[in-house]
Amino acid sequence: MQSNIKGYIVDYYGLSDYLTEALEVFSTEDVQGALTNFKEELPKLKAAHTRLVAHFKGMDLNDLDECILSLSDEAKRQQFQTDFGRFAKQMDIVLPDASAKPFLGDLKRLGKIAHGARNLYRDEQLDIAGAGEKVRQLIEEHIYSTGVNPKIAPVDLLAQDFKAKLDEHKSDRSKASEVENAIKDHIKVNLEQDPEYYQALSKRLGEIIKQSEEKWDSLVQMLLEFRGTIESDREKQATDIGLNETEFAFHNILMAEVSRLHDEAVDEATHQRVLEVVKKLVDMMKEDTAMVDFFNKWDEQKAMKKRIKRAILSEDFGTKELVEAINERFMDLAQAKFKAK
C-alpha cells in the first residue's frame, strides 16, 4: 500500500493563532495549507469508515477468515486497499482527538484483515506500512496482541513448517485458499526460471481447483499432494532425460515450440536431437554470458542469437519459424539463468 499521508496540523483547541506565529519561518501560504480545520476532517473520517466497512456488509469484522476470504477477487482487493488507505489517512489526521475513539476498534480489526489478506493472497499492495505512524502503531500493536508478528512474511510454500502454519487456519476453505495462493506465488516467483514447466503447473492447479470446487476438505488434500510433487517432479523429469535444471528449462521451450509448429507429438529421434542441441547451446550461452556486462552489450547479444539460429537450422526439425519462436525466449531465459544478480 503506497503511502500518500501528508503532514497535517489539526486545530484541536483553537490554538491556530499561536501555531501560526510559531510557524512564521514558513511562508503564509505554507502555514495556511498546513492548518486543517478539525470540523472538516471528522465528516471525511465518517464517510471513509462507512465506505470501508461496506466491503464486509453482513459479515462480522471479528470473523477474520470470512472477511479475508471475501477479498479473493483481485479487483475487490484493490478497491479495499484504496478505501483502507483513505480511512487510515483520516484516522491519522484526527488522532489523538477523542472523536476518533468510536473508530479505533474497527481500525484495528480492518487493519488485521488487511494484513491477513496481504499474507494469504501474497498481495504486496495491502501493506499497513504505508499508513501513518499513529495508525500503523495501533494496528501493529493489535496484531501483536493476538500472537502474530506483523513483520514476518507469509510462510513459503516449501518451508518445513508450512503444514504447521496451515493448521492455524480455522476452516478447510481458509486452508485451501492458503495452499492455493502459496502455490500461485511459488509459480509466479519461479516462472522466468522455467516458463513452460511452471505454466503447466498453473494449468494443473486450475484443473485441481475446478475438480474439487466447494469441496474444501478434499481440495486441501489434493493441493497438499500437488505441493509435494512440484519441485521433485521437475528434478525427476530432468534427470530421466539426462539434463540438469538449466538445460531442462531450455529443453522445455524448444520442445514446446517444435510441437506447436509441427502440430503433433515429437518423435523419439527428434527428441534425441533436441536434447543434443540444447546441451550444446546451453554450454555456448553459459560461456558467452560470462562476459562482463554481456546483457548490456547489444552486439554480443546479436552474435549469440546468430549462433542459436545456425544451431537450430542445422537440425532436420529446424525452420525459420522455429528460430523466430525461440530466439527471444532463449535470450530471456539466458538472462534469468546467467545474468549476475
pLDDT confidence of residue 146: 79
pLDDT confidence of residue 30: 41
Torsions phi, psi for 9 (to 5 deg): -120, 115
pLDDT confidence of residue 90: 92
pLDDT confidence of 128, banded at 50, 70, 90? confident
Bridge partners of 36, per DSSP, are 10
Q: What is the mean pLDDT of residues 80-107?
A: 92
Gap between the Cα atoms of 156 and 172, Å rounded = 19
Q: What is the mean pLDDT of residues 9-21?
A: 46
Length of the chain: 341
pLDDT confidence of 315, banded at 50, 70, 90? very high
pLDDT confidence of residue 37: 61
Helices (H), 241-267: 245-262
- Name residue, grid cell 499521508: 5
Gap between the Cα atoms of 311 and 229, Å rounded = 34
What confidence tens digit (pLDDT) does each residue in 247-293 have? Answer: 999 999 999 999 999 877 889 999 999 999 999 999 999 999 999 99
Residue 23, pLDDT > 90, answer no
Gap between the Cα atoms of 245 and 336, Å rounded = 13
Average pLDDT score over the chain:
88
pLDDT confidence of residue 9: 47
Residues 6+ apart with CB under 8 A from 247: 238, 278, 279, 282
Q: Who wins on pLDDT, 150 or 258?
A: 258
Residue 34, pLDDT > 90, answer no
Q: E-strand spans in the chain?
A: 9-10, 35-36
Q: Who wins on pLDDT, 144 or 10?
A: 144
Residue 17, pLDDT > 70, answer no
Gap between the Cα atoms of 120 and 178, Å rounded = 6
Q: Copy the grid coordinates of residue 306.
A: 546468430
Q: Who wins on pLDDT, 132 or 299?
A: 299
Report the range of poorest mean pLDDT among 35-39, 47-51, 101-105, 335-339. Answer: 35-39
pLDDT confidence of residue 139: 86
Q: Which amino acid is at 204?
A: R
What confidence tens digit (pLDDT) does each residue in 153-199 have? Answer: 888 999 999 999 999 888 999 999 999 999 999 999 999 999 999 99
pLDDT confidence of residue 36: 52
Q: Copy the grid coordinates of residue 17.
A: 493563532
Q: What is the mean pLDDT of residues 111-139?
A: 87
